[in-house]
C-alpha cells in the first residue's frame, strides 16, 4: 500500500496530539494527589474520619443504583481547575470506594 506524504504527516500530527493530551491528563490527575481527601482517605475509614480529614463535602446523597451513601468533594490541583472527587460509604458508614467523578456519576455506573 502506498501512502502519500500528506497522509503520513496527518498520522504523525494525530499521534503527537494524542500523546500530548495523555500527558496533560496525567499531569492534571497527579496535581490532585496532595489533596487530603485523595491522599489520606482510605477504604474502611468511617464517615467521621473522612470529615475530620477532608472537611464537609459539597454534596451528599443516598445512592439509588449502588448501596449506601456518597459524598462529593470539589478539589483543585495546581492548575486551580475544580474537579469532582467522590467517597462512597457502605450501609455501616465505612468508605467503600472513591475516585475522580461526582456521586451522581458514580451512582449511574458503580464499580463495587
- Please give the angle made by the CA atoms of 76, 78 and 83, to the nearest 5 degrees: 25
Give the span between the Cα atoms of 103 and 66, in whole angstroms: 10
Is the full-model pTM beyond 0.75? no
Tens digit of pLDDT for each residue in 59-68?
Answer: 999 999 988 9
**Cell 490541583, located at residue:** 77
Distance of CA 95 to the CA centre of its chain: 15
Give the span between the Cα atoms of 90 and 47, in whole angstroms: 10
Beta pairing class for 82-89 and 69-76 = antiparallel
Confidence of residue 17 (pLDDT cuts 50, 70, 90): very low
Query: Which DSSP letter does residue 14 get?
Result: H
Amino acid at each position: 500500500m502506498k501512502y502519500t506524504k500528506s497522509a503520513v504527516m496527518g498520522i504523525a500530527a494525530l499521534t503527537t496530539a494524542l500523546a500530548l493530551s495523555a500527558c496533560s491528563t496525567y499531569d492534571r490527575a497527579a496535581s490532585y494527589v496532595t489533596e487530603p481527601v485523595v491522599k489520606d482517605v482510605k477504604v474502611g475509614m468511617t464517615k467521621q474520619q473522612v470529615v475530620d480529614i477532608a472537611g464537609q463535602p459539597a454534596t451528599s446523597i443516598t445512592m439509588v443504583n449502588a448501596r449506601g451513601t456518597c459524598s462529593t468533594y470539589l478539589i483543585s490541583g495546581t492548575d486551580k481547575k475544580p474537579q469532582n472527587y467522590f467517597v462512597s460509604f457502605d450501609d455501616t458508614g465505612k468508605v467503600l470506594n472513591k475516585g475522580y467523578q461526582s456521586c451522581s456519576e458514580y451512582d449511574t455506573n458503580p464499580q463495587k
